């Protein structure tokens, strides 16, 4: 940091000085454990240090350690949570704030396969690099609490939670009908003592051992089943519904995904569907995310109705049982098992052909709503239960096997799809509701119940017509759909033709992957099925092997079969162990858990990372995450992360947390009480004439035109990253300005929840601000403090207004406006020429959460010997927030014409008089008599003439 050869003062706040200060203070914080937060009990316990302090659990969505390293877009949220954590510490809170790494999963494994390096090695190297880059930002993490999901001491508990889920069932009658997970042992006892009937009604003791096992396994919250799953040959594994994009490809790698029946592990998340929707009410999340979760879970109320047919009852799900009188045909999904039974000989060829065409289509093609309706008649009929009518049964690919029952009753007059289908194939469309006159008027047609004149189906509340039978169901004249549904459901239920029910879009969670880099299942098999290993055998270590590459296939080879890498390891898969029947051989489960497993519960482990007895001590969990008063669900006080996890991580982790809550392991109903979605940092990306991205850093701008190596390029805005060649490394910013400037810049460019473009040339503004603060307090030539005498009253008032505003902004995560106000204060100090000591201290404490290194350095220059980490944040004196006189703008007829200065405590009449006496007001009135004068105290005066 020698400036001997230049004329820059030796103690100017330059990038070199900033780096010197930053590294020194980072070392100080590390060596003093400045950010270690005490627990109320356990290994990190310090009861005395906890006493009398409110808790604050601040959490970032932990990062995935990729090989590419960080760019300046990554730490936006981390800086925000750090500023907030530091502010809350100074406001007296006990703050739990740390960071771990989500390190199992496909990206690390794909990278390992590409490089030939074992994923354990590349993952460790990536984590080390990421820790280094993050450390340089000066984040105030409690480093004792950091975890890595790949650490056996961590995934031991991931496996333990899996076993808890495996060893539980969902008792829908528990907790006043809300339902609750309960230990599977309680289910077995209930079967044994007869208090719960077996599925087929036989006595439990008369079931064979295999039958008993199978009955119990069918109830588990984690279970193996043969079901349609998403098979991704390009990845060599199955993936969850949530990991398949809208166009039928894998979110990772963008490979085609095929629906195939396979035996896989599932998690019974659907048991929690209602609670996952209902408890959203308890959360401080944005409506956008809540809506996304509600849509994903997709709750719809309706009824199951059975239509008699030659193949037996065809069960359908409908949200409109009140429209049964309008059901004039049925449609089965082409894959429906009844199709074979219902198809008549003369329709056999047409049906077979349609089925094979449908099968060849990907889901994405079948789900294109704009496509013309296609379908084939099976040749058979079914009986409409409300009127005995024989209605034709068709198959069509707009009915999906995966939703509801894979069969629908078609009500063409009241459903757009059924209407189109009926028109297409000339099926009858009787009206069962009288649409209002406005409906006809909007469509420019005459009012008529002759649907051949209708351009489309009518959907909504309207009077029912032609909706009655001789058997007591009478809807005619009713106009309430709610009431119609209720009557229809009652009628169906009474005659055992159906019942009201709730259907969900949410499917059970496909939990197994045929890959290497994940948590092994703590499961072995005997000839009857899966057996959970005892807790004492945890962790089940991921076996060491150089043969970690998954067997992948041609991405389009739909009929290939997954092969787990672990399956190749005979020495590992075959195990001799005593599970209560004496030592014998078992075969291990060779799947691994999905990426999401480790992130489903990591916030709990942060609380008690070294506990070897339980995943988290109950008292510790209660302290950091327990409910805060009536109706509060408990959970992390502030969770910050990107919106991209709206339905994956955030749904899965809520589910796991609720299971742990039901089983009594945690006191919080929900893991994340307040969720905040930070925006993304966008950056300009440039394409040349071949549409290829060019290195954004080398693009020149002149007069609004962009060129790369002399050739014109076009600009677009996108997410910062390698693929757009527009990444800016934080290392460059540390070098040019230091970490405090980078932190301040990122916080100043906009509100936390907004995405904003990165502009390297703008960063200097925040560097100049820090230079000016420094220069106001420190002599640039000598490095000594240069402070002045007491400030005038206006400056003191400005200080207290600033303190007041900054506190409010910090509490609301409005860091950009907090910064603006501190810049204003500092600019006022610059004009003052010299800063008094007490004012300097207040300013330094206020900037400390945002730019902690320079603040610590100035704090120590101000004569303090220890860190300001826990020094109280300045408090405004209410008496100094008001001044004697107030300037008020005066409007005449709504236009601002003048300003008057009045005593702050002036009465409305005094303000009125002052306004009317003002020269400009008199001129604006031009002799007119005021009709009305509105005084808004402290704000404005409006004279209406």
Partner RNA sequence: GCCCGAGUGGCGGAAUGGCAGACGCGGAGGACUCAAAAUCCUUUGUUGGCAACAACGUGUGGGUUCGAGUCCCACCUCGGGCACCA
Interface residue with RNA, options 366, 497, 588, 807 (CB under 7 A): 366
Q: Which is nearer to RNA, 49 or 764 (CB)?
A: 764
Q: Identify the residue among 179, 824, 922, 930 touching RNA (CB under 7 A).
A: 824
771 binds RNA, rule: CB under 7 A: yes
835 to 864, contacts with RNA by CB under 7 A?
Answer: none
Q: Does 827 bind RNA (CB under 7 A)?
A: yes
Question: Can residue 759 be called a binding residue for RNA (CB under 7 A)?
Answer: yes
Task: Give the residue among 710, 729, 733, 713 at the shortest CA–CA distance from 721.
Answer: 729
Name which of 197 and 288 has its Cβ closer to RNA: 288
Applying CB under 7 A, which of residues 98, 489, 591, 942 lies at the interface with RNA? Answer: 942
Which sign does the torsion angle of CA 538, 539, 545, 550 carry?
positive
C-beta of 632 vs 674, nearer to RNA: 674
In terms of CB distance, is 495 or 768 closer to RNA? 768
Site membership for RNA, residue 723 (CB under 7 A): no
Q: Which is nearer to RNA, 579 or 832 (CB)?
A: 832
Q: Is 390 in the site for RNA (CB under 7 A)?
A: no
Q: State which residue, 248 or 436, has the beta carbon closest to RNA.
A: 248
Nearer to RNA, 320 or 800 (CB): 320
Least Cβ distance, residue 789 to RNA (angstroms)? 21
Asked if 373 interacts with RNA (CB under 7 A), we say yes
Contact call for residue 828 and RNA (CB under 7 A):
no
| Contact status: 306 vs RNA (CB under 7 A) | no
Q: Is 4 in the site for RNA (CB under 7 A)?
A: no
Taking CB under 7 A as the rule, which mask of x and - marks residues 897-916 in contact with RNA? x-x-----------------
Q: Is 7 in the site for RNA (CB under 7 A)?
A: yes
Residue 563: name the closest of 555, 551, 545 by CA: 551
71 binds RNA (CB under 7 A): no
Is the Cβ–Cβ distance between 780 and 11 less than 8 Å?
Answer: yes
The least distance separating RNA from the CB of residue 407, rounded to whole angstroms, comes to 7
Give the span between the Cα atoms of 220 and 167, in whole angstroms. Answer: 6
325 contributes a contact to RNA by CB under 7 A: no
How far is it, in rounded angstroms, from Cα 813 to Cα 676? Answer: 10
Q: How far apart are CA 191 and CA 217, in angstroms?
A: 13
Region 656-675 residues binding RNA, contact defined as CB under 7 A:
none
> Is residue 756 involved in binding RNA (CB under 7 A)?
yes
Residue 45: CB minimum distance to RNA, A:
41
At residue 384, φ and ψ (nearest 5 deg) are: -70, 120
What does the DSSP 8-state code read for residue 178? T
270 binds RNA (CB under 7 A): no
Integer Cα distance of 809 and 816 in angstroms: 8
Instruction: Kindly tell me which residue out of 816, 860, 869, 871 binds RNA, with binding defined by CB under 7 A.
Output: 816
501 lines the binding site for RNA (CB under 7 A) = no
Phi, psi of 610, rounded to the nearest 5 degrees: -105, 5
Asked whether position 369 contacts RNA by CB under 7 A, the answer is: yes
How far is 857 from 22, CA to CA, in rounded Å?
9
Query: Quick check: helix, strand or coil at residue 118?
Result: coil
Quote the CA–CA distance of 233 and 256 in Å, as a whole number: 8
Strand partners, 513: 592
- Toward RNA, which CB reaches closer, 521 or 769? 769
Asked if 526 is part of the footprint of RNA (rule: CB under 7 A), the reply reads no
State which residue, 689 or 887, has the beta carbon closest to RNA: 887
- Report the nearest approach of RNA to the CB of residue 370 (Å): 8
Q: Is 475 in the site for RNA (CB under 7 A)?
A: no
940 binds RNA (CB under 7 A): yes
> Is the torsion defined by CA of 334, 338, 342, 346 positive or negative?
positive
* Per-residue mark of binding to RNA, 591-630 (x: CB under 7 A): ----------------------------------------
Residue 802 class from Cβ within 10 Å (0-12 exposed, 13-18 middle, 19+ buried)?
A: buried
Contact flag: residue 68 with RNA (CB under 7 A): no
Give the bridge partners for 58, in sequence order.
638
Examine residue 163 and tell whether it contacts RNA (CB under 7 A): no
Q: Give least dist CB 569 to RNA, A.
A: 37
Shortest Å, Cβ 772 to RNA:
5
Residues in Cβ contact with 939 at an 8 Å cutoff, skipping those fewer than 6 apart: 888
CA-CA distance, 670 to 279, in Å (whole number)?
Answer: 8
For the CB of residue 274, give the shortest distance to RNA in the complex, in Å. 16
What is the nearest approach in angstroms of RNA to the Cβ of residue 503? Answer: 7
Report which DSSP code applies to 753.
T
Using the rule CB under 7 A, is 726 a contact of RNA? Answer: no
Footprint of RNA on residues 736-755 (CB under 7 A)?
Answer: 748-751, 754-755
> Which run of H or of E encompasses 395?
strand 390-395
Q: Is 302 in the site for RNA (CB under 7 A)?
A: yes
Residues 871-890 that bind RNA (CB under 7 A): 887, 889
Closest Cα to residue 377, out of 391, 397, 392, 390?
392
Q: Which is nearer to RNA, 165 or 314 (CB)?
A: 314
Where helices occur in 76-183 by DSSP H, the ranges are 76-90, 106-115, 119-135, 152-166
439 binds RNA (CB under 7 A): no
Chain residues 672-701 in contact with RNA, contact rule CB under 7 A: none
The answer to whether residues 89 and 848 touch, using CB atoms and an 8 Å cutoff, is no
Q: Which of 446, 445, 415, 455 is nearest to 432 (CA)?
A: 415
Contact flag: residue 541 with RNA (CB under 7 A): no
500 makes contact with RNA (CB under 7 A): no
| Residue whose C-alpha is closest to residue 680's, from 649, 724, 712 | 724
Return d(Cα 433, Cα 465) in angstroms, integer: 5
Q: Which residues pair with 934 in a beta bridge?
A: 942
| 3 CB-near residues (< 8 Å, 6+ apart) | 9, 10, 12, 14
Build a one-symbol-per-residue string for 180-219: x at contacts with RNA by CB under 7 A, - elsewhere: ----------------------------------------
Residue of the chain from 190, 643, 902, 925 that contacts RNA (CB under 7 A): 643
Contacts made by residues 656-659, CB under 8 angstroms, sequence distance 24+: 656/161, 656/165, 656/600, 656/601, 657/600, 657/601, 658/181, 658/272, 658/275, 658/276, 658/279, 659/161, 659/164, 659/165, 659/168, 659/181, 659/221, 659/272
- Binding residue (CB under 7 A) for RNA from 96, 659, 823, 844: 823
Please, what is the minimum distance in Å from the beta carbon of residue 756 to RNA? Answer: 4
Binding residues for RNA, how many (CB under 7 A)? Answer: 90
392 bridge partner residues: 381
Region 776-805 residues binding RNA, contact defined as CB under 7 A? none
228 binds RNA (CB under 7 A): no
Q: Does 225 bind RNA (CB under 7 A)?
A: no
Least distance between RNA and beta carbon 159 (Å): 30
CA distance 869 to 34: 7
């Amino acid at each position: 940091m020698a400036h001997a050869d230049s004329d820059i003062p030796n103690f100017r706040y330059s990038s070199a000085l900033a780096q010197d200060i930053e590294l020194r203070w980072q070392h100080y914080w590390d060596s003093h454990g400045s950010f270690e937060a005490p627990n109320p009990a356990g290994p990190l316990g310090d009861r005395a240090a906890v006493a009398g302090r409110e808790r604050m659990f601040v959490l970032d969505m932990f990062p995935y350690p990729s090989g590419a390293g960080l760019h300046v877009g990554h730490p936006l949220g981390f800086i925000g949570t750090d500023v907030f954590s530091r502010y809350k510490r100074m406001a007296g809170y006990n703050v739990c704030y740390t960071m771990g790494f989500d390190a199992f999963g496909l990206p690390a494994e794909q990278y390992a396969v590409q490089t030939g390096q074992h994923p354990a090695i590349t993952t460790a190297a990536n984590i080390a690099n990421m820790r280094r880059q993050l450390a340089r930002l000066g984040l105030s993490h409690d480093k004792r609490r950091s975890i890595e999901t790949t650490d056996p001491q961590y995934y031991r508990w991931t496996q333990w939670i899996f076993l808890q889920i495996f060893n539980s069932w969902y008792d829908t009658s528990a907790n006043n009908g809300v339902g609750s997970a309960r230990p599977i042992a309680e289910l077995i006892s209930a079967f044994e003592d007869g208090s719960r009937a077996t599925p087929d009604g036989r006595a439990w003791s008369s079931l064979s051992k295999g039958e008993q096992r199978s009955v119990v396994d069918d109830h588990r919250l984690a279970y193996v089943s043969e079901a349609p799953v998403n098979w991704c040959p390009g990845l060599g594994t199955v993936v969850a519904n949530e990991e398949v994009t809208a166009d039928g490809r894998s979110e990772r790698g963008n490979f085609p995904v095929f629906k195939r029946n396979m035996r896989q592990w599932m998690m019974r998340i659907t048991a929690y569907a209602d609670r996952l929707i209902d408890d959203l009410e308890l959360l401080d999340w944005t409506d956008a995310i809540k809506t996304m979760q509600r849509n994903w879970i997709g709750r719809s109320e309706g009824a199951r109705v059975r239509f008699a047919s030659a193949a037996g009852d065809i069960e359908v799900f409908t949200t409109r049982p009140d429209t049964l009188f309008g059901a004039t045909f049925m449609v089965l999904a082409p894959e429906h098992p009844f199709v074979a039974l219902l198809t008549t000989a003369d329709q056999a060829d047409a049906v077979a052909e349609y089925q094979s065409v449908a099968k060849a289509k990907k889901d994405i093609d079948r789900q294109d709503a704009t496509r013309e309706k296609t379908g084939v008649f099976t040749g058979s009929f079914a009986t409409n239960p409300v009127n005995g009518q024989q209605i034709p049964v068709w198959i069509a690919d707009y009915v999906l096997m995966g939703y509801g029952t894979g069969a629908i009753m078609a009500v063409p007059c009241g459903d757009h799809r059924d209407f189109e289908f009926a028109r297409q194939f000339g099926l009858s469309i009787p009206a069962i509701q009288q649409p209002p006159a406005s409906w006809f008027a909007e469509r420019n047609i005459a009012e008529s119940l002759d649907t051949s004149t209708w351009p489309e189906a009518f959907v909504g509340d309207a009077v029912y017509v032609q909706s009655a039978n001789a058997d007591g169901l009478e809807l005619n004249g009713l106009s309430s759909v709610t009431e119609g549904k209720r009557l229809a459901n009652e009628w169906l239920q009474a005659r055992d033709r159906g019942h009201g029910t709730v259907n969900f879009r949410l499917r059970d969670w496909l939990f197994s992957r045929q890959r290497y880099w994940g948590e092994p299942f703590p499961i072995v098999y005997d000839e009857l099925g899966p057996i959970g290993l005892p807790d004492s055998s945890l962790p089940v270590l991921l076996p060491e092997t150089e043969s970690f590459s998954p067997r992948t296939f041609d991405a389009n080879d739909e009929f290939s079969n997954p092969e787990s890498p672990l399956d190749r390891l005979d020495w590992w898969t075959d195990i001799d162990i005593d599970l209560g029947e004496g030592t014998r051989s078992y075969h291990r489960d060779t799947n691994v858990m999905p990426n999401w497993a480790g992130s489903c519960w990591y916030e709990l482990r942060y609380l008690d990372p070294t506990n070897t007895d339980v995943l988290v001590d109950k008292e510790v969990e209660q302290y950091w995450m327990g409910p805060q008063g009536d109706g509060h669900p408990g959970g992390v006080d502030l969770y910050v992360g990107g919106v991209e996890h709206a339905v994956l991580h955030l749904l899965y982790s809520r589910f796991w947390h609720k299971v742990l809550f039901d089983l009594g392991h945690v006191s919080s109903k929900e893991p994340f009480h307040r969720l905040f979605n930070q925006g993304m940092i966008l950056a300009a990306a440039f394409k040349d004439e071949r549409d290829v991205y060019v290195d954004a850093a080398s693009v020149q701008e002149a007069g609004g035109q962009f060129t790369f190596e002399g050739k014109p390029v076009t600009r677009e805005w996108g997410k910062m990253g390698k693929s757009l060649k527009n990444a800016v490394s934080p290392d460059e910013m540390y070098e040019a300005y230091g970490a405090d400037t980078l932190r301040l810049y990122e916080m100043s460019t906009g509100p936390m929840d907004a995405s904003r473009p990165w502009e390297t040339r703008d960063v200097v503004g925040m560097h100049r601000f820090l230079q000016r603060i420094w220069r106001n307090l420190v002599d640039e030539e000598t490095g000594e403090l240069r402070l002045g005498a007491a400030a005038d009253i206006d400056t003191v008032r400005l200080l207290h207004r600033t303190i007041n505003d900054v506190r409010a902004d910090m509490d609301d995560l409005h860091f950009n406006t907090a910064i603006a106000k501190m810049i204003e204060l500092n600019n006022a100090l610059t004009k003052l020429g010299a800063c008094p000591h007490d004012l300097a201290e207040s300013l330094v404490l206020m900037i400390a959460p945002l730019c902690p290194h320079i603040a610590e350095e100035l704090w120590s220059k101000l004569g303090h010997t220890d860190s300001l980490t826990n020094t109280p944040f300045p408090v405004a004196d209410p008496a100094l927030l008001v001044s004697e006189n107030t300037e008020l703008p005066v409007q005449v007829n709504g236009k601002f014409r003048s300003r008057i200065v009045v005593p702050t405590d002036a009465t409305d009449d005094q303000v009125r008089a002052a306004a009317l006496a003002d020269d400009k007001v008199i001129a604006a009135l031009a002799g007119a008599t005021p009709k009305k004068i509105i005084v808004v105290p402290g704000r404005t005066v409006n004279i209406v003439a």
